[in-house]
Structure formats: C-alpha cells, structure tokens
Structure 1
Amino acid sequence: MEDELHMIEKNDTWELVDRPTEKPVIEVKRVYKTKLNLDGSVQKNKARLVAKWYAQKLGLDYNETYAPVARLDTIRTLIALVAQKEWKLY
C-alpha cells in the first residue's frame, strides 16, 4: 500500500481540497489482490483505493456518475472521432 501511495504522490495525481458542504462524501475502501504467474507463484501484490458505490442514497446522489479515470481505448476513440470530424481538441 505504501508503494501505491508513493506513486500517487510522485505522479501528482490527486489534490487535497475542502469538503463541499452541499454534496455528500462517498466513502472509500482498500482492495488488495495478489497477481499470480501461470505456475501459481506470486507475481506481485496490488492495492487499490475504490469508492463504495453502494453507499449512495436514492434521491440524493444515486443518479450521479463518477469516472475518475478514463480508459485508454476511450481516449483513443475520442481522438479518432475528433480527427475524423476535423474538430479542435483542447
């Protein structure tokens, strides 16, 4: 977990901000997974910090969608669409 936190700090991928008073805060949890080689030996241990989506309340924040990270294939598709339509990309 310390390696994961070190990489987050090194890559400057987050920013501590004040809690908004008009929005609820969604709790998080740590998920640990062991990646194995084909022979069953441990390749590496992974740690992730994930949102507890099931903590959302119907009528309050249930219909809101969060996507903190875009998948690479999504970014490539958008860039291809921009090139095809000859749009400006900012």
Structure 2
Amino acid sequence: MHDELNEFERNKVWRLIPIPPDASVVGLKWVFHNKMDNEWNVIRNKARLMLKGYFQEEGIDYEDTVAPIVRLKSVHMFFAYVAHKNFEVFPMDVKCAFLNGEIEETVYME
C-alpha cells in the first residue's frame, strides 16, 4: 500500500481539496493480490487503489471508459515486427503505467 501511495505522490496525480457540493464523487477501494512464482510460492504482495467505477452511470458520471491494458492485436503486431527485424526482446514490469495518462475532466474521489 505504501508503494502505491508513494507512486501517486511522486507522480503528483492528485491533490486534496474540498469537494464542491454539486460534484459527482467516486469511491475508492484497495485491491490486494499475491504474485506467485512457477511453483505457486508467494513472491510479492501487491496492493492497488481502485476507483469504484461500477457505481457510475453512463451519460451522468462518465463519457468514456479507459483501462490500462494492451490489445492482443497490438501484441501480435509488435512481435511480428520484432521477428521481422530480428530484435531481441526483454520482459519488464511497468509500475503504475496508468499514472502517465492524462485526462481532461476533474474527478472527485473519496
């Protein structure tokens, strides 16, 4: 949890302000997950702070939905290009990739 909160602070993704009386507010919840190795041993505990987007209503609380996932077609195209150019690929874990995206709307969370 501390790592997640530190990433928020480091990337300056939020600031604490009073919520206006007419604002639509989205709740938050912590989601916990154990990362395992090939033999099912727990190697790391992960925590993510998530918006409770399932409480929103289309046309009232949101216009678009964004998820930090890659499309399978993009992965296929990437590996086809890598194979064509005979590049070497190395795996990496991107922490808090969604924090690098920008939104135009103001979102109030509690």
Q: One fold, TM greater than 0.5?
A: yes
**In 2, Cα distance between the equivalents of 1:60 and 1:37?**
43
> 2:38 corresponds to which residue?
38
Distance 1:15 1:72, change over 3 A: farther
Bigger mean CA deviation after superposition, 6-15 or 32-41: 6-15
**In 2, Cα distance between the equivalents of 1:42 and 1:33?**
10
SS at match of 1:60: coil
Give the conservation status (yes or no) of the 8 Å contact 2:29–2:49: yes
Unpaired runs of 5+ residues, structure 2, are: 75-110
- Residue 56 of structure 1, CA deviation: 1.7
**In 2, Cα distance between the equivalents of 1:54 and 1:71?**
18
- The percent of aligned pairs where both chains have the same amino acid is 35
> 1:2 corresponds to which residue?
2
- The size of the alignment, in residue pairs, is 72
Q: Which has the higher contact order (CA 8 A, sep 6+)?
A: 2
**In 1, Cα distance between the equivalents of 2:32 and 2:68?**
22
SS at match of 2:47: strand
- Residue 72 of structure 1, CA deviation: 7.8
Distance 1:58 1:32, change over 3 A: same
Q: TM-score, normalised by structure 1?
A: 0.57
**In 2, Cα distance between the equivalents of 1:23 and 1:40?**
45
Distance 1:18 1:71, change over 3 A: farther
> 1:26 corresponds to which residue?
26
- Residue 13 of structure 1, CA deviation: 2.9
